[in-house]
Amino acid sequence: MALLEPQVSALPAFAQKFLSRDKQLFIDGEFVDAVSGKTFPVFNPATGEILAKVAEGDAADIDLAVKAARRAFESGPWRSMAPAERARLIYKLADKFEERLEDLALLESLDNGKPLAVARVADVPMSIENLRYMAGWATKIVGSSIPIPGEFHAYTRREPIGVAGQIIPWNFPLLMLAWKIGPALAAGCTIVLKPAEQTPLSALLVAELAAEVGFPKGVINIVPGYGETAGARIAAHPDVDKVAFTGSTEVGKIIVRAATGNLKKVTLELGGKSPNVIFADANIQEAIAGAAFGIFFNMGQCCTAGSRLFVERSVFDEVTQGVAAAAKAMNVGSGLDARTDIGPLVSDEQLDRVTGYIQSGISEGARALSGGVRAGDKGYFVEPTVLVDTKPDMKIMREEIFGPVVAATPFDDPNEILAAANDTVFGLAAGVWTKDVSKAHKVAAGLRAGTVWVNCYNVFDPALPFGGFKQSGWGREMSSNAIDCYTETKSVVVKL
């Protein structure tokens, strides 16, 4: 692991201009200050310095945004717009993302800390693909005609659910926004979206792009603010029809309780503690690379992070040392530095959390083959860490760390690996590495997880359903399943 010396170079002109302007809320097609007049600071995780001040939306602003979204849903041009016209607007937004790829990637890297090179090839292009995929659905949301006994004509209609509240996290700010707004817009819903307090910047550029594209006023409202105030109001609001949340399992449970007032529909995409299982008959070099990618991608701040590595004992040392060697070969530095493999964690809070987990693991007897400490003393950097000598009841084996920290455990009996891999309250994703086709499919079937990757990791596509078993969530994102989560089905029965 090499900690790169910070390079001091001026920010590109776009970022200077964007950051120097007041960052306001986007409600009913207008950029406005918060009702309270308050702002909150957004930090650069590579330096700990303030990047921008953003208007702080709270309950009062959410109420205005919901009012605008309700009006746009009930009476605006959105309601009567042909699905093909809705699709065209979503395609146009995707085109804007493409035109502004560099600007979006730059904001994402500055705000979240992730390598700019990654934002360019992953976050922004995947967001574009998601929007385009969902735009295609707008014209394909259809009911069916259903034969029933008697003189009746019976059919179903799929109607938009209404006003959708969307609360997203900071690990993939733009991509999570795209996952949320794509299906909601395709279905004909209107939106009140709260980005994470740590990373509101790309969402605010999207608000500008949505206004340029010509979405009718009130269809997309973007209200940065804190979870406990703005987020809580979305979840509890009596006039929000559905809330879609991505974040921690702990807050997911708060959302569910808050939603009971009007029984709004709830979808949740929550945490994980995903097992990555390597059998001795795997292509070991590919498995090592896959295990490293599975945990270190996005500094481990992935809900799908392969944070529990199970390796058949005969190849355990080879694999864990290989992953540790990959960790040691990584450059840790600012996301804007082209040499960087690992950027900072998103916040000082996450830095404390992740280093706290590492210390807890080591104090309970785990050993670090690589990393194990903070990197440098400025910014929120943590060395990519491989922990061995783990026990199933350690906190590092049970709780989501959300950092570049993998806990590795050997196994002897391939028949017992499913029990160990499934020994978690989570069920988001899993990996399996083997050349034995039969074993691969059997293990894939036995893993209690929403996504299983065989001989690969973190492969996503907008056509694939994504979501969690157990406490990793409710419902699915992407694919036609996401459209289902933004529509209601109505049965119409006509006496002939």
Give contact residues for ligand NAP (rule: CB under 6 A).
167-171, 194, 196-197, 226-228, 231-232, 235, 246-248, 251, 254-255, 270-271, 303, 353, 400, 402
How far apart are CB 450 and ligand NAP at their closest, in Å?
12
Measured between alpha carbons, how far is 246 from 166 in angstroms, rounded to an integer? 8
Residue 198 neighbours by CB distance under 10 Å: 20
Give whichever of 27 and 417 is closer to ligand NAP, judged by the CB atom.
27
Could you say which of 189, 302, 303, 485 is catalytic?
Answer: 303
- Find tokens 């990757």 and name the residue: 453
Half-sphere CA count of 190, side-chain side, radius 13 A: 29
Contact, 23 vs 56, CB < 8 A? no
In the bound complex, what is the minimum distance in angstroms from residue 458's beta carbon to ligand NAP? 13
Nearer residue to ligand NAP within complex by CB, 190 or 350: 350
The least distance separating ligand NAP from the CB of residue 58, rounded to whole angstroms, comes to: 11
Instruction: Name the catalytic one among 269, 383, 400, 477.
Output: 269
List CB contacts of 120: < 8 A, sequence separation 6 or more: 101, 102, 105
- Which of residues 232 and 288 has its CB atom nearest to ligand NAP in the complex? 232
Task: Write down the least CB distance from residue 199 to ligand NAP, Å.
Answer: 8
Q: Is 485 annotated as catalytic?
A: no
Tokens 């570049």 locate to 404
From the CB of 274, what's the least distance to ligand NAP, in Å? 11
Going from the C-alpha of 173 to that of each of 137, 209, 298, 303, 485, the distances in angstroms are 23, 16, 12, 13, 21
Q: How far is the CB of 398 from ligand NAP (least distance, A)?
A: 12
Least Å distance, CB 132 to ligand NAP, is 23
Q: For residue 31, which amino acid is it?
A: F
Which of 342, 50, 333 is closest to 198 using CA atoms? Answer: 50
Edge to edge, the sheet with strand 163-167 lists 30-32, 25-27, 220-222, 190-194, 163-167, 242-246, 265-269, 473-474
Beta pairing partners, 42:
52
Distance CA 144, CA 428 (A): 32
d(CA 371, CA 374): 8
8 A C-beta contact, residue 405 and residue 387: yes
What is the largest distance, in Å, between two alpha-carbon atoms of the chain?
A: 79
Is 324 within 8 Å of 493 (Cβ atoms)? no
The gap from C-alpha 466 to its chain's centroid, in whole angstroms, comes to: 11
Both tokens of residue 449? 């997880």
Q: How far is the CB of 171 from ligand NAP (least distance, A)?
A: 5
Phi, psi of 277 (to 5 degrees): -110, 120
How far apart (Å, rounded) are the C-alpha atoms in residues 162 and 170? 26
Task: Check if 303 is active-site.
Answer: yes
Angle (CA) 276 282 285, round 5°: 85
Check: CB of residue 345 under 8 Å from CB of residue 355: no
CA 43 – CA 492 distance, rounded (Å):
53
Q: Determine the Cα angle at 348 with ends 342 and 350, to 5°.
A: 65
- Least distance CB 485 / ligand NAP (angstroms): 17
The three-class DSSP label of residue 98 is helix
479 Rama class: left (phi>0) / alpha (psi -120 to 50) / beta? left
Residue 97 CB, nearest approach to ligand NAP (Å): 21
CB closer to ligand NAP out of 128 and 259 = 259
Strand 163-167 and strand 152-160: the pairing is unpaired
For residue 101 the two structure tokens come to: 């790829």
Question: Which residue number, 70 or 194, has a Cβ lying nearer to ligand NAP?
Answer: 194
Active-site positions read: 269, 303
